[in-house]
Structure 1
Amino acid sequence: MPSSRTLITLFSLVGLAALGGYAWHVNRTPAPGQPVAAQVKTAGAGGGGGGGAGQAAPVVVETQAVSVRVLDDDVSAVGSLVSNESVVLRPEVSGRIEAIHFRDGEPVRRGEVLVELDAAVQRAELQQARANLTLAEADFSRTQDLFGRKFVSRSSLDDARAKLEVARAGVALAQARLARMQIRAPFDGVVGIRSVSPGDFVKDGDVLINLEDIATLKLDFRLPELYLDRVRSGQTLELSSDVLPGERFAATVEAIDPLVDAEGRAVRLRASLPNPDMRLRPGVFVRVRLILAERGEVAMVPEAALVPAPGDVQFVYRVADGKVQRVNVRTGQRRDAMVEIVDGLQPGMVVVTAGQLKLRDGAEVKVAAAGMAPRAD
C-alpha cells in the first residue's frame, strides 16, 4: 500500500499538469468578438518584435552651406603708440623764470613763446652792442670820407671797417643771448603738465615742460623675422585698443628697421595713423593686425561644423539626398567663428553644424526647422 508521501507527490503532479493545460487553452482560444488575426497582430506588437526595429528615425540636425568670401592674409602683433614728434624743453642757460605763457595740456603753435627767463642783463648787453654799432658805423663813414679826400691811409680805412664788423657781430651775439632767455615751441603740439612756476630759478638742462605732436601718431611694433620678405612700406594695418573698445583704426606702414633683433629674432616696424580728434594718446597699448595680402574665392564653414578625430584629423558631415557623408578636411585660417577649408569641400555643399554627436557615416538626417534646435541626447 503506497505511503502518504507518495500520494501527495502524485496529486501535485496531476494538479500542475491540469493548470498547464488550462493556461494553454486560454492563450490559444481567441477572446469573444476578436479575430485570430487581430490577436496575432496584438501579440506581435506587444512582443517588441524586430519588424520595425531596423528602421531608425532620421536624426534632426542643423546645416549650413559652404560660403565663399574674400579673406585677408594677415598677422597679429602688439605695439605702443608714440607721438609724431616729442620733445622735453630745457633752458640753455641758467636764470629765473619771469613768465609762463601757456596753460597745462593746451595746444600751442610753432614759434610761440612758452617760458620766458629774466633777461634784464641780456637786454642791457644788446643795447650796449647797438650803441657800439652806431659809433662804429659813424667812424667808418668819416674814415671813408677822409680816405676819399686823401687825408687818411688805406690801413685806417681797413681798421674802421674791421671795427664796424666787430660791432655788428656784437649786436648779433647780444641778440642770440637774449633769444636764449625765451623758450619757444619748436613745432605745433600739445604741452604737458609743468612742474615749475614763475620765480623759480632753473639751471641749464633742467626740465621745464614736454611738448607732444599727437595730431598724427606713430605705432611701433615687432614681427617675427620669418615675415621679413612679406612686409613692405605702404601696407595697411588695423589696430584696436582697450581704451576705445569696439573701434578699429587704420594705419600705414612707413618704415622697416634694416636691423633684425638678434636676440628676439624680430624685425621692428613703424606705422603712422591720423589722430585729428586726439582720442588716442601716446603710450597706449594696441593690438595690431597687419594685412599682408587679400585672397578671394575662399571656402569657409562655421567652426561648429568641424569634428576632431584621433591623429590630428578633422572632418565634417556633408548632407546629400537626406543622408550624411563623412568628409575629411584640411583647414586654414580662422576668422569670426568661421574657418577656411583648404581641401575636402566645394562652395555650395551643405554641412552639418549641430547634432553631429548622434551621426554616423550614411545616417539619414532631417534638417531642423527655424527655431527648432536638435537634441543633444
Structure 2
Amino acid sequence: MKRIALMGLALAAVLVAGVGGYWAGVRDFPVAGLRKWFGVETTFAAAELAGTGAVIYYQDPDGKPVYSITPRRAGDGRAFRAVRASEDVSFENKLSAPAEATGQAGPRRILYYRNPMGLPDTSPTPKKDSMGMDYIPVYEGEDDGGSVLRVSLGKLQRSGVRSELAARRTVGRQVRVPAMVQLDERRISVVATRSDAFVNEVASVTTGDRVTKGQVLLRLYSRDIAAAGAQFLSDLKSGGRDSAVGGARQRLENLGLPPEAIAEIERTRKVPLSMIWRAPRDGVVLERNVVDGMKAAPGDVLFRLADISTIWVLADVPEFDLGAVRLGAPVTIRVRSLPGHSLNGRVSLIYPQVGEATRATRVRIEIANPDGALLPNMYAEVEIGTGDAAPVVAVPDDAVIDTGTRQVVILDRGEGRFEPREVKVGQRGDGFTEIREGIVEGDRVVVAANFLIDAESNLKAALRGLTSPEARP
C-alpha cells in the first residue's frame, strides 16, 4: 500500500512537471484551479509567473478576491499566494477572463515600462532604476491618453476605495446662531402731554405692571386744555356755527385730549378741573416718570407702555451663512429660561445691512407670546432651516474634493477604472452636497480614498505632460 501511494505521488509530479512546462509561457493560465485539482501546493510554484519586487500582500490560493497583509492559510489548510510588486500592477488582468475565453490570440501587448517612483522616465524594454526597483509595464489599453485611470484590484482592496450612487435628495442644514428677544417696535406707546400741565394724581401703577387699554393712569390740570374746553362749551351753548364748534373741537384734539374726554364735556356741558389720561393699549409699563404734584412740560414722557403679546427675536447670522437664509424659513427658538422647551417661528425680515464690526446680518423672527414667557433682552439660541424643499442631485460631502478654485469628484466606471470629473456645487447640509453641473443622477462616485485616486490621476497627467513625445515609446 505504501509503495502504491509513492508511485501515485511520483506520477502526479511527472504530470505536473509536464503541464508546468507547457503553460510556463502562458500568462493568464489558471494555476490556482490546477492546484485544487491535483492537491499539490509546492509543485506548481514553477508554473506560476515569477514575480519581482517585495511581497505586498497575499491572495487566496484559488484566486478568489480575498487578500491578507500577512501570511495566511485558507480553510483547507493551503497557504495564501504571495503577490509581489510587479504582479500587482496588472492584477486586474489576472482576475479578468483569460485570453482563451475572450477570443484573443494571446496576452496583451506591453507598450512600454514606466518609472516605479513616478518620475517622467519610460523605457521600451524592462529595466531597473537607480535603487534596483523594476520599471512597471504599461499594457495596451491602459494608457489611453484620456482622463480614465486604471487601478489594480489589489490596490483597491488595500486602500479601501468605496463608492456610492448620486441620487436626488433634499439638501438642507441648520444655521445655529445666538439671538436676543426684543420688543415689537410697532407695539410701544408713550403717554405725554402737548402743553404745560400739573399732575394732580397718579394711579397706583408702577414699572412692570400690566395695564389694559382704557385703564386710568393719571389726572392732570392744563391751563391750555381748560381754555380750549371753555371755548368749546361756549360755542355749543350759543348754538354757534358748525365751523366754530368744529374748530374748538379740533383745538382740544390738537392738545392731546382723548376723544372720550371730549365726548364727556359735550355730554355734561362742563369742563372738569382735571383731565383723565388713560392707557392707549394693553401692555406692560416699561417706564413711569411721573409723581403726584409735578409739573409736566410739553412732550415729557410720563409713561412708556409695550404690548408683549407678539415679540421679536433678533438673530445675528454670519455673512458666509447669509446666502442660505431665506424669508419664511422655519426657525426653532430655545431660551435659557425655558429648558427643554422650544418655540417655532419663521423668518419675517432680513435686515439690509451687514454689521461692520461683527460681519453679521440681523434676521428678525416674529413669534406670539400670549403667556408673556418671553421678556425683552432675553438670550436665545435659534436654528434656521435652509435649503429648498425640492430634491436635487446630491452626493456625500466626502465625495467632493475641493481645491479652493475648483471642485472634483471621482467617477467609478467599474472594473478598476476611475475618471476625475469637475463639478459645480450648490448647497451643503446633512452630510450631502448639491451637484448642479458635472454629473447626473445614477452616476457612481467614490466616497472613500478618493484623494489617493485623484493623486494618481494628477500624477498620470503630469507624466503625460512632462514626457516629451520623442521619449514616449
TM-score, length of structure 1 as denominator length: 0.51
Q: Shift in Å at residue 113 of structure 1?
A: 1.3
- Structure 2 counterparts to residues 60-71 of structure 1, below 5 A: 60-70=160-170
CA distance in 2, matches of 1:174, 1:300: 77
Counting only pairs closer than 5 Å after superposition, residues 1-377 of structure 1 correspond to structure 2 as 48=54, 52-53=84-85, 54-55=87-88, 56-57=154-155, 58=157, 59-70=159-170, 81-83=182-184, 84-92=186-194, 93-96=196-199, 98-114=201-217, 116-117=218-219, 172=269, 174-175=271-272, 178-179=274-275, 182-198=276-292, 200-217=294-311, 236-239=328-331, 249-251=344-346, 253=348, 272-281=366-375, 294=388, 296-309=390-403, 312-321=405-414, 323=416, 324-360=418-454
After superposition, the C-alpha distances for 1:90-117 in whole angstroms (9 at most, x for unaligned) are: 2444223523332432322111112x23
Q: 1:171 to 1:337 in 2, by over 3 A?
A: same
Q: Which amino acid aligns with 1:89?
A: V
Partner Cα distance (2:51, 2:385) in 1:
68
CA distance in structure 1 between the aligned counterparts of 2:343 and 2:441, rounded to whole angstroms: 30
CA shift, 1:353, in A, is 3.0
CA deviation after TM superposition for structure 1 residue 302, in Å: 2.7
Q: Bigger CA drift: 209-218 or 194-203? A: 194-203
Mapped contact 2:220–2:274 kept (Cα < 8 A)? no
In structure 2, relative to structure 1, the CA distance for the partners of 1:290 and 1:185 (3 Å cut) is farther
Q: Distance in 2 between matches of 1:46 and 1:320?
A: 30
The alignment partner of 1:359 has SS state of helix
Q: CA 1:307 to 1:355, structure 2 compared with 1: closer, same or farther past 3 Å?
A: same
Conservation of the 8 A alpha-carbon contact between 1:238 and 1:248: no
User: 2-side partners of 1:213 and 1:282: how far apart?
Assistant: 11
Query: Equivalents in 2 of 1:173, 1:339: separation in Å?
Result: 77
Superposed CA offset, 1:186-221 (max 9, x none) = 111222143444555544432222111221246899
CA–CA distance in 1 between the matches of 2:167 and 2:189? 52
| Residues 298 and 94 (structure 1), Cα distance of their counterparts in 2 relative to 1, 3 Å cut | same
- Confirm or deny: 8 A CA contact 2:424 2:438 kept in the other structure: yes
Decide whether the 8 Å contact of 1:109 with 1:185 is kept in 2. yes
Secondary structure of 1:186's match? coil
Task: State the distance in 1 between where 2:209 and 2:164 align.
Answer: 56
Q: Which amino acid aligns with 1:299?
A: V
User: CA–CA distance in 1 between the matches of 2:269 and 2:288?
Assistant: 32
* Residue 319 to residue 247, structure 1, CA distance change in 2 (3 Å): farther
> Over residues 304-324 of structure 1, what are the superposed CA-to-partner deviations in whole Å (9 max), with x where a residue is unaligned?
3211348x2211123453644
Q: Partner of 1:301: helix, strand, or coil?
A: strand
Q: CA separation in 2, counterparts of 1:243 and 1:296?
A: 31
Distance 1:39 1:69, change over 3 A: closer
Q: SS state of the match for residue 301, structure 2?
A: coil
**Cα distance change on mapping 1:69 and 1:282 into 2, 3 Å:** farther
Q: State the 1:355 CA deviation.
A: 2.6
Alpha carbons of structure 1 residues 349 and 282: separation in structure 2 relative to 1, 3 Å: farther
Q: Distance in 2 between matches of 1:103 and 1:60?
A: 72
Give the gaps of 5 or more residues in structure 2: 1-41, 57-82, 89-153, 249-264, 317-325, 357-361, 458-473
The amino acid of 2:213's aligned partner reads R
Decide which structure has greater strand share: 1
Return the alpha-carbon distance in structure 2 between the equivalents of residues 347 and 248 of structure 1: 37
Give per-residue Cα distances to partners, 1:119-162, cap 9 Å, x unaligned: 6999xx89xx8xx99xx99xxxxxxxxxxxxxxxxxxxxx7x67
- Deviation at 1:174? 1.2
Deviation per residue, 1:215-269 (Å, 9 max, x gap): 12468999xxxxxxxxx9xx62445678569956434759x99xx99xx9xxx99
Shift of 1:298: 0.6
Q: Which residue of 1 aligns with 2:59?
A: none
CA contact (8 A) 1:119 1:178 kept: yes
Partners of 2:160 and 2:385 in 1: how far apart?
Answer: 42
Amino acid at match of 2:160: V
Question: Which letter maps to 1:302?
Answer: P
Contact 1:252–1:273 under 8 Å retained in 2: no
The 1-side partners of 2:407 and 2:222 are apart by 83
Percent of aligned positions with the same letter in both sequences?
22
**Distance across 1 between alignment mates of 2:302 and 2:314:** 27
Following the alignment from structure 2 to structure 1, what is the Cα–Cα distance between the partners of residues 392 and 51? Answer: 54
- Tell which has more relative contact order, 1 or 2 (C-alpha 8 A, sep 6+): 1
Return 5+ residue gaps in structure 1 as ranges.
1-35, 138-158, 223-231, 364-377
